Amino acid sequence: MGEEVEQVNSFLSRAAICSKFMAKAVRTDMLTIQASGWNKRKAENLDWTLAKRYIKTVQRIADATKDLQKLTTELSIHEDAVQQWVCDVQQWTTGATVQNDRQKTIEGLYLSIKQRKFQLYRQTVGSKRRHILRKKIAAEKKALDDAIVDYNTVVGDADKLPPPDEFLVEDNFSWPWECHGDMCQKKKVFDKVMLLNRLEEEAVIVVREIKQHWEYMRSMAGTIETLSSQLSEGITGQSSTAALTESGREGLLCVLKQRLCKVQAQQTAARTTYQRILGQHMVSLDESSSGEENLDSSSSTDEEL
């Protein structure tokens, strides 16, 4: 996202005070150190970031649920009516998008005919001019009738338009695609329901990201343990370690053990954080699974959240 790029650039700009007097190679090394520090800080604080995001999302879900219940109480509607209103707004929105060109054509012809009728006896003084206006009105009426027939073939019975002669006599005709009356109330309920659905979906996504982070730390710890056991037993077949001396192997083994301690400490801290926010759902993170099977098996737990 753009904001994250700006945050990274602001963090890297701290090195600009001294790096502008450095040589190119040294400046590159300084920026690399800064970028590595940024990545390390994000990796170390990822559990807290996900936990705060989950807590904030849960709080927003509770607030959105209260707002929806308050609105439905004010409008005196039940759950089935809420779902029906949501469907009505979705159909209205889809219809307004698909029929946008037809609606503009009908409204344009309607206004043009009304204006020409107004000019017929008020701004014309000769019969020739009135004859020309009547021909244009007749042509536009025919075009309006064709547009209405085309529009009525793709909409429901409740949204169909009457013949042109019936609504041309009205000064302010109310189009069925305009949002007014009951549709305004339905739109308010629709917005609340959609907000609640988005927040629930975000909570599921956060839980999935938590599981991915947990599985990543477990796989990293397992990889380091495997390499350590191979080095300790002296059965590694990698060319990069085959030429190492005994002291070199011992030094590499110490580095791996040190890295393993750090990963296990991060894993313990992350477990404490996730246990605090997930509670009983933390048990699913400890279940042994691999790859896509883990995500598939955990989808039911995500839906429950």
pLDDT, tens digit, 9 for 90 and up, residues 87-136 = 877 766 665 555 567 788 888 888 888 888 888 777 666 778 888 888 99
If asked whether residues 135 and 166 sit together in one domain, one would say yes
If asked whether residues 279 and 221 sit together in one domain, one would say yes
pTM equals: 0.58
The more confidently predicted of residues 202 and 5 is: 202
Residue 127 within a domain: yes
Residue 231 within a domain: yes
If asked whether residues 69 and 152 sit together in one domain, one would say no
If asked whether residues 299 and 268 sit together in one domain, one would say yes
Scan for tokens 């509607």, then name that residue: 77
If asked whether residues 154 and 69 sit together in one domain, one would say no
Domain span at residue 61 reads 45-89+182-235+244-305
Q: For 298, what's the count of Cα atoms within 13 Å in the CB-facing half-sphere? A: 26
If asked whether residues 208 and 172 sit together in one domain, one would say no
Residue 16 within a domain: no
Q: Is the pLDDT confidence value at 289 over 60?
A: no
User: Which bin fits 181, alpha (ψ -120 to 50), beta or left (φ > 0)?
Assistant: left
If asked whether residues 250 and 205 sit together in one domain, one would say yes
If asked whether residues 122 and 159 sit together in one domain, one would say yes
Residue 9 within a domain: no
Total of domains in the chain = 2
Q: End-to-end alpha-carbon separation of the chain, Å? A: 27
If asked whether residues 74 and 194 sit together in one domain, one would say yes
If asked whether residues 186 and 290 sit together in one domain, one would say yes
pLDDT, tens digit, 9 for 90 and up, residues 219-278 = 988 898 888 888 777 654 554 556 667 787 788 888 888 888 988 888 888 888 888 887
If asked whether residues 218 and 80 sit together in one domain, one would say yes
